[in-house]
Amino acid sequence: MFAIVKRYYDKGIYSNEDVEVFVRAGKLTETQYKEITGDDYVA
């Protein structure tokens, strides 16, 4: 899941808010959120 979300984020398809949805759903960790977006995850 990480690789797919990262690819879409890098292409501009997903925004930070979209990636947050995956964290809230338990599909990504907060650490992975930071790896993808460069920002700390704030619940």
Residue 29 lies in a domain: yes
| Rounded alpha-carbon distances, angstroms, from residue 35 to 19, 29, 43 | 11, 10, 16
Residue 5 CB partners (closer than 8 Å, separation 6+) = 14, 19, 22, 27, 28, 36
Q: Does residue 43 lie within any of the structural domains?
A: no
Q: What is the pLDDT along the chain (43 residues), one digit of tens a residue?
A: 999 999 999 999 999 999 999 999 999 999 999 999 999 999 8
**Counted domains in the chain:** 1
Domain-located, residue 25: yes
In a domain, 16, yes or no: yes
In a domain, 42, yes or no: no
Report if residue 8 sits inside a domain: yes
Give a yes or no: residue 18 inside a domain: yes
**In terms of residue numbers, what domain contains 22?**
2-37
Diameter over CA atoms, the chain: 25
14: Cβ contacts below 8 Å, ≥ 6 apart = 5, 8
What is the predicted pLDDT for the residue at 16?
Answer: 98
